[in-house]
Amino acid sequence: MDDLRQHLQVAGDEEVKISARNCQVFYGDTHAIKDVDVDILDKTVTAFIGPSGCGKSTFLRCLNRMNDTIDVARVEGEILMDGENIYDKKVDPVQLRAKVGMVFQKPNPFPKSIYDNVSYGPKIHGLARNKAELDEIVERSLRRAALWDEVKDRLQTPGTGLSGGQQQRLCIARAVATEPEVLLMDEPASALDPIATAQIEELIDELKQNYSVVIVTHSMQQAARVSQKTAFFHLGNLVEYDDTGTIFTNPQDPRTESYITGRIG
């Protein structure tokens, strides 16, 4: 734990976006996340790695309160975003999710047109006063997701008709359309082929200029390629959290080392 504190101080010169304190998640009787303390930095890509079932996705879903939708899930402890506890009674999860966008493992565009997919978020939050503004938001979001040039001539065609990689970028465009501050990505490239994966990774690298990006991944190579900070989860514990380079070259904990060298996981 001392190590952890130390690293947090090192990180102190950059702005902390989200900090979890003593975070616990229970699924019924199962204690899925135990005592997680972590500080996620702004304008940085943070990767969560770990073996299957280690709780990395569960913890990611705490950050935009997606666990609220599961009846048996219970979250304890504090998760502060810009110093405000997002589990406070005053915080509406709907408002939080507009600020914390999410991209899921399997591309899940709405069975609607590309335009409607991207404009849905801004529409329900009232971010555009008129059609022209909405058009502008759609274009800007699709450009940020590096999809604009491929779809600008067919915005009214169904989003489900795109290829897997394009669908995932459409989902990213949909997530950034509401101008979030944090972007959560739950294994965003695991259902994609290597070329589409490379495009997504390139995109993540660009997105970090505007957002704090948190990505869950199974692929250690991916974590090494795209992230600046890496957190290693094991059996519901946050084992180690440090600069990505340090985690992969000089892990402090033997469990991290075992996982990285392929002995567990």
Residues that bind another protein (CB under 8 A): 64, 66, 69, 71, 94-98, 101-104, 106, 108-111, 120-121, 124-125, 160, 171, 174-175, 177-178
Instruction: Choose between 86 and 238: whose C-beta lies nearer to another protein.
Output: 86
H helix or E strand, kind and range, residue 216: strand 212-216
Residue 258 CA to residue 263 CA, distance in Å, equals 5
Residue type, 105: Q
Q: How far is the CB of 164 from another protein (least distance, A)?
A: 13
Residue 121 CA to residue 118 CA, distance in Å, equals 7
Instruction: Choose between 15 and 84: whose C-beta lies nearer to another protein.
Output: 84
Instruction: Choose between 28 and 254: whose C-beta lies nearer to another protein.
Output: 28
Q: How far is the CB of 108 from another protein (least distance, A)?
A: 4
Cβ(44)–Cβ(212) under 8 Å?
Answer: yes
Q: For 119, how many CA atoms within 13 A lie in the half-sphere containing its CB? A: 19
Q: How far is the CB of 10 from another protein (least distance, A)?
A: 32
Q: How far is the CB of 230 from another protein (least distance, A)?
A: 24
Alpha-carbon dihedral sign for residues 214, 220, 223, 226: negative
Instruction: Choose between 93 and 265: whose C-beta lies nearer to another protein.
Output: 93
Q: How far is the CB of 28 from another protein (least distance, A)?
A: 12
Instruction: Choose between 187 and 240: whose C-beta lies nearer to another protein.
Output: 187
Cβ(57)–Cβ(73) under 8 Å?
Answer: no
